[in-house]
Chain A
Amino acid sequence: MSSKKAKKLSNQDYDEATRNQIEGMIKAEAKAIASRKGAVEAEECECKDGMFPSGPVRSDVTSRRQFLAATATGATALMVGSAAQAAAPPGAMDYPVQEDPTKVQGRLTNDDGGYGSRSQFETEVRWRFPTATKESSWTMTPLDAGEGIVTPSGLHFERHHGGIPNINPATHSLTVHGMVDGARKYSMEDLKRFPSVSRFHFIECSGNGLTEWREPTLKTVQGTHGLTSTTEWTGVPLSTILREVGVQDGAAWILAEGSDAAVMTRSVPIDKAWDDAMLVYAQNGEALRPEQGYPLRLLLPGFEGNTHIKWLRRLEISDKPFMTREETSKYTDLLSSGKARQFSFTMEAKSVITFPSGEMKLPRAGFYEISGLAWSGRGVIKRVEVSVDGGNSWQLAELQSPVMPVCHTRFRFPWHWDGKPAILQSRCQDETGYVQPTIKQLVDARGLGGGKYGSIYHLNGIQSWAVAADGGVSNVHKY
């Protein structure tokens, strides 16, 4: 059993690369938290919103609101455009705020150009891990501010290795070749003519939680779990394309290749392609976002995020895996034996409480609805249990429908907080019977990657949030 608070990393516990990575993430999160705190103080709010440390710097929020209220007469149309956008949070436009919206007309219909934006009062954003380059980097989804199960397209986590290419769909094509009867080339128009399906699936980076193996390190759920997002994806079953080209006997693997500066590649077992893989072109009802692979992405439900090749340009069918850099140098799991697991595709069952979670503050004792997300790469979430006493006792949480395979599932649990220190945990079970383990069980099974530090990828252990007597919520390890 251990229950410890976050602390500074000690030098001998990590190799240099991992330590730099983790220390970078600590800094990035601290920056994000500091700017959120500025916003919360300005709001001076004890409501549920005030508990959320959400959004970027808004030190200008009070003064600008007063200013806007004062100039709110008839200036609406003038505010549209780049000037309005410059002052607003990302994804929002700054519109005048009426003192009494029942006494003046609101802004003009369709004056936004026909594509809406979020309210200027909503500020949650992804934050970026400060890698050496901005081309090879990643951003985290603000799960603490998320509702329901779907991730807004603009908040879906990202991982790029060579920047975000800007691709004209009219000139993009997918070439399918190798061990096939007839190699073919498809334009985007060709692909969209095939019968399509829409499915809700999460994508999780197998590096999600890499900072948390050894000790509680990041403070917010965005930092500890923000590399997972759920989307309604639309596209063509890959099996359709395989039938079209005629796969030859002996074929066992497919190389998927992206059209970015990394020309990203992963080998995928052909079994997965026949099963449920998709070539997706749409996300939450509209075209894929460029950061998510516009115009075409390989979707492999339940497999680690790196395999869902974005900006897909080529599929090569083969008898053997290709042993690309991303499946040898990276995305392999070094065990204490010195051997590394390879092709560890499946994202195992995992859950996390998103409310309340790290850096939030409960204003007083009383009723709170604990809420969070559970997901499994092996199918449907069957059950989520919540503990409010650090794992001594567990109670069933309610699963909110729809509960879909390989998809975020929202759970809710009513809680009367008595004002005393508490440790909140959730654990889930999927349709295979697998129950989410503790972090300690995973470390016992895998070792800390050669003795002192985690194997980095595939941490799906139970997350603990400590609620202090003053209502402050923090990341702890308790098992």
Chain B
Amino acid sequence: MYTNTKSCKALIALLAGIAMSILPALGNAQGYSGPYKFGVPATSADIAALNIDVMPDGRGLPKGSGNYETGKTVYTAKCLACHGPDLGGIGATGGAALIGGRGSLTSGKPKKTVESYWPYASTVFDFVKRAMPFNAPGSLSDDEVYAVTAYILGEANIFDRKATLDATSLPKIKMPNADGFIADARPDVFNYE
């Protein structure tokens, strides 16, 4: 059992910068006098029913597959109305532009899209599976999510329009802005007294 947070602190400091280390310990310092053993063991069925997240290294990706062509069908039927025929977004629906803007991040008028800004392809799969289509979240099959992800990434010229997207190929995709993120460097203004 893991109760010492020291090694973890080092990791976080690496990932999130020095800002973390000056967080004061408000502390849940009061004693823990458990174990209380409330609740019940979560069965693998319990977990499987909820465990839909997908990580950059592909952990969590389900079985199934799709490609640009099948994705185009899904997109036209279930996404186009809000994200537009050219994936450029339709402001009045709240549906964002999904492609474009590559190279715009230093332009003074950055356009943040899946193509220009998102660091991982896994995030597209994860987000579409959990939250899209906006009017029927969670309604797509895993094959449909793979397909529409392949279509978006194909339109963005990130993923080969002839290739199959599945649990093996998705984690290998390198997004254009994969190296665009850095640790939080705050405090970044020093008026300390």
Contact = CB atoms under 8 A, between A and B. Distances in A.
Interface of A: 12, 14-17, 20, 131-133, 135-136, 161-162, 175-177, 181-187, 190-191, 193-195, 197, 199, 237-240, 243-244, 246-249, 251-252, 255, 257, 261-263, 265, 269-271, 274-278, 301-302, 313-314, 316, 318, 320-325, 328-329, 332-334, 336-346, 348, 378-379, 405-406, 429, 431-437, 441-442, 445-446, 449-453, 458
B107 A237 contact: no
Contacts of A263: 52, 130-131, 137-138
B23 A302 contact: yes
Nearest to B60: A322
Contact of A445 (B19, B93, B189): B189
Contact of A162 (B34, B122, B137): B137
B36 A194 contact: yes
24 contacts: A15-B111, A133-B93, A175-B50, A183-B47, A187-B39, A243-B3, A257-B53, A271-B5, A275-B23, A275-B25, A322-B55, A322-B126, A329-B118, A334-B112, A341-B182, A343-B184, A345-B184, A346-B19, A346-B184, A348-B186, A431-B24, A442-B188, A452-B109, A458-B186
Interface in B134-193: 134, 137-138, 180-189, 191-193
A246 B32 CA distance: 13
Given A133-B134, A265-B130, A450 B106 contact: yes
Contacts of B119: 323, 328
B188 to A, nearest CB: 4
B106 A337 contact: yes
Interface in B113-136: 114, 117-120, 122-123, 126-127, 130-131, 134
Given A406-B26, A445-B188, A343 B1 contact: no
Contacts of A238: 28
A342 B91 CA distance: 26
A318 B193 contact: no
Interface string B97-110: 00000001111111
A451 B107 contact: yes
B126 A193 contact: no
Contacts, number: 275
A379 B27 CA distance: 11
A193 B36 contact: yes
Given A197-B30, A323-B56, A405-B24, A446 B192 contact: no
Given A15-B111, A190-B38, A378-B22, A429 B47 contact: no
Given A269-B20, A338-B106, A262 B28 contact: no
B2 A193 contact: no
Contact of B41 (A182, A322, A436): A182
A244 B35 CA distance: 6
A450 B186 contact: no
B43 to A, nearest CB: 8
A470 to B, nearest CB: 34
Size range of the chain B interface in the assembly: 35 or more
A359 B138 CA distance: 45
Contact of A265 (B5, B23, B53): B53
B16 interface: yes
Contact of A132 (B20, B24, B93, B184): B93
A301 B26 contact: yes
Contact of A271 (B20, B38, B40, B41): B20
B81 interface: no
A269 B16 contact: yes
Contacts of A429: 193
Contacts of A406: 26
B192 A433 contact: yes
A237 B23 CA distance: 18
B109 A379 contact: no
A75 B117 CA distance: 63
A338 B33 CA distance: 49
A197 B107 CA distance: 49
Nearest to B122: A323
A434 B123 contact: no
Given A183-B42, A323-B55, A329-B117, A340 B27 contact: no
A270 B41 contact: no
Given A132-B93, A193-B36, A324 B123 contact: yes
